[in-house]
């Protein structure tokens, strides 16, 4: 099969939360016909608002012209029916980091996307791609395509093939990520956490345990890493930024894969998620955030 940088021109994005809206915006800004799925009309309007607000900020900061913003918005359409993905070259799953939910989405995409050459990618930050591919009848067309928040700003993408990803599918997705989207690509084996979270989440867990034990205050832990190690953000504030529910989900996935004690989620993290204290997106986590500042 001959491929080129324009091979993938129609994209479907499943989920329009923090990550999905960013992925949809990026695709639209690169001139791709982008169809976004959400569960109902209310979720569609919320997702549309995220994209519009992000594009407006880009214009305010001089990163986009008004014409660029308008052109991007014209590329984005919405649906509440996965069957509308039938004509897509590529579908990108960007729902919350819940394995059972992702498996259901993959089964639904497999049924909806009638073209045998259609690609299905997951934005999962931790779940092995082979697990998701096994939920479809086309595991060779499935790959991990992990973006980082905020998607329009951070240019890194982790690409993850499974044991059965077809060579042609791999070539197409690499060309899409690097050439069509203009992202910097790194490649990981199909292990829980991939490259970035396999390094990052154990560090964050260690900081949570330090705080949980009373070893040091949250501000002091974070200031130690910012001022002592030149990190742009301390680990606890970073956990709030990522979302404590996502941090917990990644920790659980890492522990399930490797069974190493230092990867087990701290009890405090579990209780905070149960309480709905998820960080910036709910206004409270290890820190409190003013109204209107939640992601």
| Residues annotated catalytic, as ranges | 125, 146, 158, 197
The H or E element containing residue 158 is strand 156-161
Q: What 3-state DSSP class applies to 293?
A: coil
Give φ, ψ of 158 to 5 degrees: -90, 125
Ramachandran class of 118: left when φ > 0, alpha when ψ lies in -120 to 50, beta otherwise: beta
Q: State the angle between helix axes of 218-229 and 196-212 in degrees (0 to 180), rounded to the nearest 10.
A: 130
List, in order, residues 6 or more apart from 283 with CB less than 8 Å away: 289, 290, 291, 293, 294
Cα-atom radius of gyration of the chain, to the nearest Å?
A: 19
List, in order, residues 6 or more apart from 220 with CB less than 8 Å away: none
Residues in the chain: 295
How far apart CA 195 and CA 189 sit, in angstroms, is: 8
């Amino acid at each position: 099969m001959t491929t080129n940088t324009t091979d993938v021109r129609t994209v479907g994005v499943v989920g329009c939360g923090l990550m999905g809206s960013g992925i949809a915006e990026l695709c639209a800004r690169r001139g791709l016909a982008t169809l976004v799925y959400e569960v109902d009309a209310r979720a569609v309007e919320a997702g549309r608002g995220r994209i519009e607000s992000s594009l407006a900020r880009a214009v305010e900061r001089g990163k986009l012209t008004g014409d660029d913003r308008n052109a991007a918005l014209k590329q984005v359409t919405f649906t509440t029916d996965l069957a509308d993905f039938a004509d897509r070259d590529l579908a990108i799953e960007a729902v919350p980091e819940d394995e059972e939910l992702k498996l259901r989405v993959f089964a639904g995409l497999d049924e909806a996307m009638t073209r045998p050459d259609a690609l299905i990618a997951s934005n999962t930050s931790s779940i092995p791609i082979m697990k998701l591919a096994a939920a479809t009848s086309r595991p060779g067309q499935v790959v991990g395509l992990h973006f980082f928040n905020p998607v329009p700003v951070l240019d890194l993408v982790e690409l993850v093939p499974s044991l059965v990803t077809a060579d042609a599918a791999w070539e197409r997705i690499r060309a899409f990520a690097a050439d069509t989207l203009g992202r910097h690509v790194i490649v990981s084996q199909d292990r829980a956490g991939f490259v970035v979270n396999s390094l990052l989440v154990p560090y964050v867990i260690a900081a949570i345990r330090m705080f949980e034990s009373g070893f040091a205050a949250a501000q002091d832990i974070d200031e130690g890493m910012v001022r002592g190690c030149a990190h742009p953000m301390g680990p606890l504030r970073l956990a709030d930024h990522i979302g404590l529910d996502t941090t917990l989900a990644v920790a659980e996935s890492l522990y399930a894969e490797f069974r190493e004690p230092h990867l087990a989620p701290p009890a405090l993290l579990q209780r905070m998620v149960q309480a709905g204290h998820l960080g910036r997106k709910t206004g409270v986590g290890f820190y409190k955030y003013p109204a209107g500042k939640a992601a």
